[in-house]
Each structure stands twice: as structure tokens, then as C-alpha cells.
Amino acid sequence: MPLTKRQRTRVVRGSQYALLVLVVIVVALVADWGRLQRAFFDVGIVADLFPEVLTTALVNTVLYTLLGFGFGLVAGLLLALMRLSSVPPYRWIAVTYIEFFRGVPALLVFIALGFGVPLAFEMALDQYVTVMLSLGLVGAAYMAETIRAGIRAVPKGQTEAARSLGMSHGRAMLSIVIPQAFRIVLPPLTNELILLTKDSSLVYLLGLSLGQYELANFGRDALNEYKSLTPILVAGLLYLVITLPLGHLVRRLEARTAKAR
Amino acid sequence: MTTDTAKTGRAPAAGDPTAIAVTGLHKAFGDLEVLKGIDFTVRRGEVVCVIGPSGSGKSTLLRCVNLLEEPTSGTVVVAGTEVTDPDVDIDRVRRRIGMVFQSFNLFPHLTALENLTIAQQRVLRRDKAEAERIARANLARVGLSDKERSYPAQLSGGQQQRVAIARALSMDPELMLFDEPTSALDPELVGDVLAVMRSLADEGMTMLVVTHEMSFAREVADRVVFMDGGVIVEEGPPDRVVGAPQHERTRTFLARVLDPAAAEVGEVADAGPEGKRVDR
Ligand SMILES: Nc1ncnc2c1ncn2[C@@H]1O[C@H](COP(=O)(O)OP(=O)(O)OP(=O)(O)O)[C@@H](O)[C@H]1O
Ligand SMILES: [Mg+2]
């Protein structure tokens, strides 16, 4: 008996639900719930983690991210302007920098700054400076490319209008082109902030002191203490507390940009 | 500033009757020679319309006057300042020359009022209150006092172009350049912009206008310049150039502009004024 199109859709959909229900039942029967809960979400441990996981770890994650982002943004803008310069050596320097730092792992940069520089130059950088540079140097390379694309996306007529009003090249860039470029690159820059939030976990390599722990380090430390995955899950959820709203913001900004066109 | 007037861009003796003097102007983009020796002058208070087919070099000529394009050779003197002199402070010259673009080029991140004040404050160093006073006066002049807080995206094309004219006027320019100011507008919005330009002309503003609006050229221009292929083919009072053109090329062009349907089949290779691209 041939099925109509609607009947066939219903059968396919029905069997998909049936499969799902079956899997859920099997997992529910097989799993050792007590143990899983102890491993992943031990309420006692969660209570123990607070408030330090917020006041120290989350705060430090945000602080490190902002340090890296701030440095990366300024350096990225500078690199973008160098990349667009009419003086060839500036362009070469910018291109070399961008290609280098986009091409090597961020981990390597952390090792170089955290261990390489102190050993080779026999001087210890301030911890916060190390964090800012490690996160910012790589971030700057990505942000430079984003900002450069943003500057180039501003129509040439904007510069021409500014120049025809007597503005110098620099003034036209500062007052007219860069503000418009930043509106264009706000969504990708926010994405960069999300990536940096996650990359800030690499700071854990640097062997910081207790008060300087960020989420990953804090979770790792608590993991050793409690022999439970709970701290890692809590740390993960706290990353989401930062990254999910930012991701939502990116989509709203993108929608706004799309509407403005 | 007073020691070397020619280089600082200050106005020369008020008696100088020449606003723009172009001599032997050549401009090439790579191998493409766009202007092939242009000579012409615009007197103070004069309204000169430049007409001609697409690609004839009208925009390039206009852009050479305020050095948005660097001439390949020849000289351009604007109100006594030789702008082609390599030692000239071009930013100082440009602030005296208002320019209105086909695609308006308002600053989209600024309100109408801010579009008018930013260069006054940043370039002329006027304080905020004075810049706003002058800006409001100019918005009133173009009939848009109620739009000072609007962003360009919230304005119609005709309104945007009038704000752009007001923006140029706020710098107190000695002359104004218009590059097809109505070509990007819906037909019903053209009239408002032309009316503003007409009143400017009546107030004695020196204007160099690239346009396809033949009625404007006939009624407002003191002189019409017809360009084709990078040279001036003929120029003179509108009655003569538009009314009774001497050259065959002028006649062909006018026939097509005034009655596009009558365009000859042999001429389709040339895009003509209706085939214009609008740079946005
Ligand atoms: N920046 C540039 N680089 C290369 N070629 C150019 C440039 N600007 C203009 N041209 C060329 O110069 C020629 C004249 O251009 P121009 O814009 O002056 O013509 P126009 O008379 O204003 O035409 P239209 O009526 O279409 O505006 C065209 O062939 C154009 O392609
Ligand atoms: Mg043109």
C-alpha cells in the first residue's frame, strides 16, 4: 500500500521520536546516577567553591580578557593603519607581524613571554603585563585584519567629502573614517572578545599565585582538591555566563548593521 | 599667515574678478588620458554649467579644481591661489571651496547638525555654540530646520543633498563645485535641490556645476561649457550653447539629453546620461 507524502512524513518523524525515547530510557537505566552526580554536580562542592569562584576566578578571567583586549585593540588599530600606510616599510612590518602572530599557536606566545623572556633576559615581567602581552599580541594580529577590512569598507566618498571640507588626512581618518569603521567591525570585534575570553584560560600556564587564579586555573586546582569534575563544570558554566550574552550581542549588532544597509 | 598669501590660501585683494582659472590642464589615469588640455575661467559670482556625455571628463575636471585628483600637468588657480603649486597648503585651499557630490556623501554616523558642525569645529576651530548657530542658519537656508537631529539614513535623497549643500555652505566657501547633484535623486525630489541651488546663484555664489538638467543650465547659468572626449568643444551663454549649438557633437549630445527616445542607433555604444553609474 503506497503511502501519501503526508503519511510518509509522519512515519519518519514518528520513528525518529521512538528512537530518541529508546535511547533516553536505556541511558537512564544503565547510568549510575549517584556517581554521575557526585562527579559532575556535587552540590556540597559547588557551595564550597563560592564565593571565591566569582570574586577571584571570574573576576580575574574578565580582568585578563579586558587587559588583552585593550592592548590588542590599540595595537590592532595601529597595525591596521600601518598596513594601509603609503610608506612601504610600515606595510611590510605590519604584514610580517600579522602573518607571524596569526600563524603561531597562542600557547607558544605564552611560553615565550612567561618563561622565555624571564630566562633569556634575566628579568621577570610583571604578571599582569605578561598576561596583557600574551593575550594582546595574538589578538592584535587578528583585530588588525578586522579593523583594516572595516576601514576599507568605508566608502571612498566619505574621505573625499571630509577632505573637501578642508580636513587633513589624519583628521578625516580620526573623525570620519575610523568611527564608521568601528561600527562595521563591532560584531567581529565582539567575536574576538569571546575568543579572548576562552584563550584567557591559557594564563594557567604561567604559574600564577592563588589570588591571581582565573576560571580554568581555579577549576583545575579545585579538581585536585575534591577529586570531582564539579569545579570544571562550574568553571565551564561561568565561561558561558560571559560568552553566551556576548554571542547574543554579536547577532544583534549584525542584525542592526544589516538593517542599516 | 600674512607673509605669503599665495601659499596659505588667504583671499587675495578683493578686486580680483577671477574665481577659477584653469590653464593647459591635462589628466591621465595610467595610459587613459581623460583631460586633454583644458583652458577656462570662472569669474566671481558667475554660474557655469558643464555638460557633456558620460566619460567626457566632467567630474575629473571638477575634482582637479579642489585637487581631489592631482592634475598631470597644467595649472589651476582658485581665487588667486595656485592649487597646483606643490608648496600650497591644500587643506587651506579646500576649505574655501565647497563641494557637493552626486552621492551626497553625508557622514552617516553624525546627525544633520553634526554633519554641518564637525568641519567648522575641527578645521575652522569655531567653538561649538558658534558652529551650531551657523549650522542652524544654513539648515534653515535649505529648508530643513526641523531635521537637525535626523541621521542621514532617516532623510530622503533630496533632503540629504540639501544637507550636503548646507554642510558646504557652513564653511563660508568662496565658490561651490557641484558634481551632478541631482543625478542620484528620484525625479520628484530634483526640484527642491535645484531650487536651493537657484537661490544660491541669486545670492551671487560662484558656482561650477556639472549637470544634465538642461532647464537649470538654460535658466540659471551665465555660461555653459560643453565637454567631449576630454576637451572643451564649445562654451558660451546658454542661449547659444544649448539653444543654438555650433558644433555637431554638441547637437548630437543635446538631442539625446533633451529627448532620449530620439537617440540614434549608432550612438548606443556611448552609455549616455541615462546609463550613468551612481557611486554609492
Ligand atoms: N580614479 C580613476 N582611475 C581610473 N580611471 C578613472 C578614474 N576616474 C575616472 N576615470 C576615467 O576617466 C574618464 C572620465 O571620467 P569622469 O568621471 O571625469 O567622466 P564624467 O564626464 O564625469 O562622466 P559621468 O557623466 O559618467 O559622470 C572615464 O573613462 C573614467 O572611467
Ligand atoms: Mg561624473
Q: Which of A237-241, A254-258, B8-12, B257-261 comes out lowest in average pLDDT?
A: B8-12
Please list the pLDDT of chain B residue by residue as tens digits (280 residues). 344 444 444 444 456 789 999 999 999 999 999 999 999 999 999 999 999 999 999 999 999 999 999 999 999 999 889 999 999 999 999 999 999 999 999 999 999 999 999 999 999 999 999 999 999 999 999 999 999 999 999 999 999 999 999 999 999 999 999 999 999 999 989 999 999 999 999 999 999 999 999 999 999 999 999 999 999 999 999 999 998 899 999 999 998 887 766 554 444 444 444 444 444 3
Nearest Cα residue to A181 out of A193, A172, A192: A172
Q: Whose CA is nearest to atom 31 of ligand 1?
A: B55
pLDDT score, position B57: 94
- The more confidently predicted of residues A119 and A89 is A89
Q: How high is the ipTM of this complex?
A: 0.85
User: Are residues A75 and A137 in contact, defined by beta-carbon separation less than 8 angstroms?
Assistant: yes
* Pairing label, strands B206-210, B223-228: unpaired
Decide: A71 and A256 in contact? Cβ < 8 Å: no
Distances (CA, A) of B140 to A170, B143, B169: 31, 5, 12
Instruction: Decide if pLDDT at A45 tops 50.
Output: yes
Q: How far is B95 from chain A (nearest CA, A)?
A: 4
Q: Whose CA is nearest to atom 7 of ligand 1?
A: B29
A99 touches chain B (CB under 8 A): no
B148: helix, coil or strand?
coil
Q: Which residues pair with B136 in a beta bridge?
A: none
Q: Work out whether the CA dihedral B14, B15, B18, B23 comes out positive or negative.
A: negative
Q: Using a 6 Å cutoff on CB, does residue B60 contact ligand 1? A: yes
Q: A162 contacts in B (CB within 8 Å)?
A: 107, 119
CA of A31 to the centre of ligand 2 (A): 75
- Which domains, ranges and CATH numbers included, belong to chain A? 40-260 (1.10.3720.10)
Question: Among the atoms of ligand 1, which is closest to the Cα of residue B210?
Answer: 22
Share the mean pLDDT of chain A: 89
**Closest Cβ opposite residue B109 in set A160, A163, A179:** A179
Task: Flag whether pLDDT at A207 surpasses 80.
Answer: no
- List alpha helices for A31-126, DSSP H: 33-40, 43-49, 52, 59-83, 88-103, 106-111, 117-121
Which chain B residues are closer than 8 Å to A168 by Cβ?
A: 91
CA of A251, closest CA in chain B: separation in Å?
A: 21
- Ligand 2 centre to CA of A202 (Å) is 55
Q: What pLDDT was estimated at residue B277?
A: 42
- Residue whose CA lies nearest to ligand 1 atom number 18: B57
Instruction: Closest CB to B91: pick one of A161, A168, A260.
Output: A168
Which pLDDT does position B9 carry in this prediction?
A: 42
Residues in chain B within 8 Å Cβ distance of A172:
none
Q: What CA–CA distance (Å, rounded) separates A79 from A241?
A: 32
**Tens digit of pLDDT for each residue in A142-188?**
999 999 999 999 999 999 999 999 999 999 999 999 999 988 899 99
